[in-house]
Each structure stands twice: as structure tokens, then as C-alpha cells.
Structure 1
């Protein structure tokens, strides 16, 4: 294995880099939760569109996950829980919103791409939980 150059290792090991990476990973969820919170009717309509019943309950749960998960990850408190919440949510959303196996043509192509992007985000949440745990052990 080839080691990273020192300046790269220093950047990757820094607290600001780790924080900015967590901001990047969670930003869409935090923004989505805030937008849904300020547009309750739109949030309920979105859940109804995906067949979630009762849609108001699912909208409230979605808002809670999209706000609480990022806050836990960004504050460094219970990162495993925040990452788990967002990872499970993202995996479920991938199956509900991107059921490419039921589609044809361009729609299938787009949904397949979105499905695997969601899987990549799930991997990102697993990694942030692992790195947070390793950093906590190192700092202890």
C-alpha cells in the first residue's frame, strides 16, 4: 500500500476536514428537513405521492430523521445513532422512490442511477460512524 503524502494525511486527519465532510454528507438531509418543516402541506403531499399512509405521520417522521440525524452527526454526539437513522432512512427511500426494477427506458435508467447513489450515501453513513468511533477511541 502506498502511503498518502504528508500534506494529504494532515488534511485528512484534521478536525475541520472531518467536520466539513460531515456537513457535505448531511447537508441535503438537513435542508430537506427544514424545507419540509416550513412547507408542511408539501411534505404531506410528498409522502402521499410515494404511497406512504398515513402521509402526515410519515412526513413528521421524515422531518424528524432529516433534522435530528444531521444534528447528531454534526455535533459529534451519538454519531452512530444519527448515521444509523440516516442510513436506514436512505436505504428505505431508495426502495420506495427508486424502484427501477418496475420501470422501462429512460425512467429506469434514471431510477437505477438514483438507487445506487442512495446506496453510496448509506456507505458514507457507515463510514462516518466507523471513523467517529475510531476517533473517539484514539482521543480517549
Structure 2
């Protein structure tokens, strides 16, 4: 019985850039979102107002801060647990706010919101795993 991964999997996992690229993949949507919102401030404020968050400008600024600071912490490896926690909590709040499928009538919109909600839960799991790995690395 084989107890280790195939050699090609070990080679990928041992490659010096794998961890960095995995972290970048995990935070890429947040990093891009923060940059786009910063560049298109009126649209960022309008997005917050659309979701009923007031004052919208304050929520837009907080969103941008989390979407930029969280990834920077994770990519730098400094306080990665904090960046993972920031993005995990943000993602949960965003999923509840933007994808409240439980209050929607059956149909395409509910189907899409349900999928998006559970995709966000998957991201939260990724952030929890990252925080666990960061703790193990520091121990």
C-alpha cells in the first residue's frame, strides 16, 4: 500500500514557488477587487449602497482596506493568520449579505446565489487551512 503521493505530486508540492502561487491564487480576487474599487471609487460606493450598507463610503473604504491589507499580510507571510482571519470574516459577511439564497423564491437567481454562497464557504475553509499552516510553520 502506497503511503505517499506520486512523485510528480511531491515534485509540485516541493517546488519553491508552489506555496507562493497557491497563496496568490487564494487572494487574487480580493486583491483585484480592492484595486478596482480603489480605482473606481464611485462604483465601490454604489455597490455598498446597493447592498443597503450606510454610510456607503465608509463601508467601501473598509472593504477596500480588507481586500488589500488581508492579501498583503498573506503574501508577505507576516501575520498571515491575521490576513486569513480578516478575509475569512469578510467573506462570510459578504456571502450572507450578497447571497442570501434562503430568502429567495425558487428559480435561477436562488440557484446562483446558493452556489455562490457555498463557493464562499469553500474560500473560508481555504483561509482557515492557511491559518492552520501558518501556525504550524511558526511552532
Q: 1:126 Cα deviation (Å)?
A: 0.5
2:122 is matched with which residue: 120, 123, 128? Answer: 120
Query: Which one is further off, 2-11 or 59-68?
Result: 2-11
TM-score by length of 1: 0.93
Quick one: distance in 1 between partners of 2:132 and 2:14?
A: 14
Q: SS of the residue aligned with 1:132?
A: helix
Matched, 1:39 2:40: yes
Q: 1:13 Cα deviation (Å)?
A: 3.7
Check 1:87–1:98 CA distance in 2 against 1; reply closer, same or farther (3 A cut): same
Deviation digits for residues 92-115 of structure 1 (CA, Å, limit 9, x no counterpart): 000000000111211100000000
Give the structure 2 partner of residue 57 of structure 1: 58
Quick one: distance in 1 between partners of 2:36 and 2:71?
A: 14
* CA RMSD after TM alignment: 1.3
User: Which residues of structure 1 form unaligned runs of 5+?
Assistant: none
The 5 A counterparts of 1:7-86 are 7-86=8-87
User: Which residues of structure 2 form unaligned runs of 5+?
Assistant: none
TM-score by length of 2: 0.93
Q: 1:9 Cα deviation (Å)?
A: 2.2
Runs in 1 of length 4+ with deviation above 2 angstroms?
none
Give the structure 1 partner of residue 134 of structure 2: 132
Q: How many residues get paired?
A: 137
The 5 A counterparts of 1:95-106 are 95-104=96-105, 105-106=107-108
The 5 A counterparts of 1:84-99 are 84-99=85-100
Give the structure 1 partner of residue 5 of structure 2: 4
